[in-house]
Structure formats: C-alpha cells, structure tokens
C-alpha cells in the first residue's frame, strides 16, 4: 500500500475494568487479571444477576467537580481517555479543520436518561438538570472530545451496538484515506451499569446467572460458559496519515491496515457466521493481505454459546486454524460499544510486543471450536498482522486488520 493510503496509530488510551489507562490495562490482560466483581450495591440486591465489570477508578474524580456534574459518565470517560491517547501521540500540531473525532457508543448517556426519568417521576419537571439533553445524547462523547481538542474536521458517532467502537476506527480509516483530514481521534465508550440495563440483558438470557467466584464467570470458548458479564470502559486511538505522522517524527505502534463493515440482515440479536465471514474477508482484501498473513485474532467472543460458535466458524472459514486466538472479555467483561476499540488495541499491542494474552477461565475448550485458542499462559511470537472482530445486535459486523 502506498504511503498516501497508509494509516498509522500514534497514540492509545484506555480505561477498563482491569486498568486506569492503556498501559495498566495491557499489563493486566497479559497477567490474566479479572475485572469482574460481585455487585454489592443496595440497588443490585433484587437483580437476576449479581456480577459486573466496573471501572477501577471513577472518571468523575479525575475532573473538576463543576465539570463532571455536567457530563454523563460516558462523556467523562471519552474526554479522559482521548486526552490520554492525545498526549501519548505527542499532542500533534494539526490544523483544527484537519482534525476529526469519531467515537462510537451503544447506549450513549443512558445513565443520565434513566436517572433523570426517575427524578422526573419522583419530583417533577422543575427538578430536571438543564444539562440533561447534552448529557444523554449519543453524540455527546464525540462532541465533548471535539471541543476539548479543538477538532473542527467533524465529530461523528457510529451507533451499532457492540460493534460501535470498531466501526468508529473503520470510519476514521476511511476519513484519512479520503484525504479529508490528517488526524482522527477514534474509538468507543460505554457506561451503562444500571439496574435497568442489567435486568434487561438478563431477561433476554444474555447475561450469565452465575454468582459464585465472580472472576470465573466470563469464560469465552469454554464448554461451561453461561453468558456474558456486562462491563464499562473506553478505548481510543489516534490515527494519522502516514505522511503526516512521519513528517512530524511521530512514534508509531503500527498501522490500521484494513477494515470492513457488513450487515447480516437476518436477525436482530442472533450471531451469523456468513455475515462475519464477509466482514473478515473484505477486511483482508482491504489490507491487501491473505488469510495466512494473519498470525493473531482477537475474537469478539462474549462467552455466549451461540455467539462463540458462530465466530469460531467464521474465523475457521475466513482465516483458517493457524492463527493464535484470544478473547480478553474473559477478563474485562463485555464493554459493549467500547469493546471493539479495546479489542483492537489489544490486537495492536500484541503485535508490538510479540505476545498474545491467554483466555482466562478456559478450563475445557468446547470441542466444537477447532481453533488455536491461547490458554494457560500468554503466547509469545512475532506476527506481521492481526485481526480484531467486533459484532453487535442488529447484525453489525466489523473486522479490523492491524500490521506491525
């Protein structure tokens, strides 16, 4: 691929259930640490699930109190994580009109929506916050980050359920290749741990009902898996045109070499291997790579039987069985709209460091899964390219390809 079409990653940021930044999150994943904990809050007492993966630190505590109270938790996360990635990239000097923001989310400011609705019902209209609307709107995280960084090249918000963060990265890649901007701050964010959302996911039998030993509940690919664990977090990358990054002497993590978005168009919640195969194969063509070039796959793998089996089939058909496969939701839980961006970050850092995290809690691999799933200890090696998958309710399929 020519330099004009190449897109480099120059900065990363993350806030996850296992770490307060990208570096600590990555170290925790390699160490096999779990962020899943028992829900001991009073509001969780009557819920049908009793575990979740919350953040290690409250984002509100890192912002001035007057600022934090005007922001939904998802917006707080987006601002802090984008600042981390921006500083990690060296705070590029770029014309405001050549800087864009793309931050996806699955539920937006749902905590504000639910909290303000409770207040309205209890105390009436006059008690509502004047900031409620900008706090609840899904484009809030992207909008606030654009203002924080002075980005005038567009503030975009893909909302595609659990594929939102990955789709944001794919959109950023398209903007840079089209030459519309020089730098894009892209990724995903989600903060929706609330009795309503937990109960709703539990009602559709998506969440694991297991409660003993919380750290063992999320178990992708394991024969004893029983559903996913809901989490929260954010993952952000700074993407740059290769020529722009090299001209300023930027340090790089690698390249976002290809991406693809497909829609299965067959069921609102069920996984579909055919649609996933289409996304993976298209992403590989976009990156000008073959299946054999992929040394590592970061699987979406949420720890549901149907989802894990469909993706395993898709990986086998589109990539083969030679690649080292991991699933870090075994440690972070499922961060919904942030998961694709954090998964992409894990795939990128695996290439940089030559090590793939092991899947936690994988005691007995489901015999129907014929993949080289990394378990026990991290896998070391040197790989040129990695694939990161992300799939969402509605039939949204996104595959990203990173190269070292």
Contact by Cβ (8 Å): 144, 71: yes
Strand partners for 14: 235
The two most distant CA atoms of the chain are separated, in Å, by 62
- For residue 336, is it left (φ>0), alpha (ψ between -120 and 50) or beta? left
Spot the catalytic one: 194, 278, 298, 334.
Answer: 334
Check if 300 is active-site: yes
Beta-carbon-side half-sphere exposure of residue 228 (alpha carbons within 13 Å): 25
Check if 162 is active-site: yes
Lay out the sheet containing 385-392: strands in order across: 155-156, 99-104, 183-190, 233-241, 7-15, 254-263, 396-403, 385-392, 294-298, 324-326, 372-373
Contact by Cβ (8 Å): 337, 107: yes
Q: What are phi and psi for residue 363, nearest 5 degrees?
A: -80, -45
Check if 192 is active-site: no
Cβ contacts of 28 within 8 Å, gap of 6 or more: 16, 18, 19, 35, 331
Spot the catalytic one: 162, 194, 296, 298.
Answer: 162
Contact by Cβ (8 Å): 214, 331: no
Instruction: Determine whether 60 is exposed, middle or buried from the number of CB atoms within 10 Å of its CB (0-12, 13-18, 19+).
Output: middle
Spot the catalytic one: 278, 296, 298, 300.
Answer: 300
Q: Which residues are catalytic?
A: 162, 300, 334
């Amino acid at each position: 691929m020519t330099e004009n079409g190449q897109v480099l990653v120059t900065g990363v940021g993350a806030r996850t259930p296992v770490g307060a930044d990208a570096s600590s999150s990555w170290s925790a994943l390699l160490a096999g640490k779990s962020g899943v904990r028992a829900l001991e809050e009073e509001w969780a007492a009557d819920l049908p699930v009793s575990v979740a993966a919350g953040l290690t630190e409250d984002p509100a505590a890192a912002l001035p109190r007057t600022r934090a109270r005007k922001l939904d938790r998802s917006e707080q996360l987006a601002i802090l994580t984008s600042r981390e990635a921006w500083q990690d990239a060296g705070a590029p000097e770029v014309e405001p009109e050549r800087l864009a923001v793309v931050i996806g989310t699955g539920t937006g400011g749902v905590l504000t929506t639910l909290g303000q609705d409770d207040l309205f019902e209890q105390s009436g209209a006059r008690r509502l916050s004047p900031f409620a609307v900008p706090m609840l709107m899904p484009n809030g995280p992207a909008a606030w980050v654009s203002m924080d960084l002075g980005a005038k090249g567009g503030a975009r918000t893909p909302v595609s359920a659990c594929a939102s963060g990955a789709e944001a990265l794919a959109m950023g890649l398209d903007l840079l290749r089209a030459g519309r901007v020089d730098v894009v701050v892209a990724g995903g964010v989600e903060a929706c741990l609330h009795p309503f959302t937990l109960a709703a996911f539990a009602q559709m039998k998506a969440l694991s009902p297991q409660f003993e030993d919380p750290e063992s509940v999320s178990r992708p690919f394991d024969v004893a898996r029983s559903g996913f664990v809901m989490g929260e977090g954010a993952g952000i990358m700074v993407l740059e045109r290769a020529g722009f990054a090299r001209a300023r002497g930027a340090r790089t993590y690698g390249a976002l070499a290809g991406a693809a978005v497909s829609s299965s168009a067959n069921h609102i919640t069920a996984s579909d291997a055919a649609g996933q195969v289409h996304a993976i194969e298209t992403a590989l063509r976009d990156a000008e790579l073959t299946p054999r070039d992929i040394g590592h796959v970061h699987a979406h793998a949420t720890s549901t039987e149907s989802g894990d089996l469909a993706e395993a089939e898709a990986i086998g058909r589109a990539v083969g069985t030679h690649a080292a496969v991991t699933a870090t939701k075994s440690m972070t839980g499922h961060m919904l709209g942030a998961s694709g961006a954090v998964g992409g970050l894990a795939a990128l850092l695996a290439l940089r460091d030559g090590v793939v995290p092991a899947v936690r809690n994988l005691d007995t691999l489901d015999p129907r899964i014929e993949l080289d799933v990394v378990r026990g200890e991290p896998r070391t090696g040197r790989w040129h390219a990695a694939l990161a998958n992300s799939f969402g309710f509605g039939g949204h399929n996104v595959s990203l390809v990173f190269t070292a």
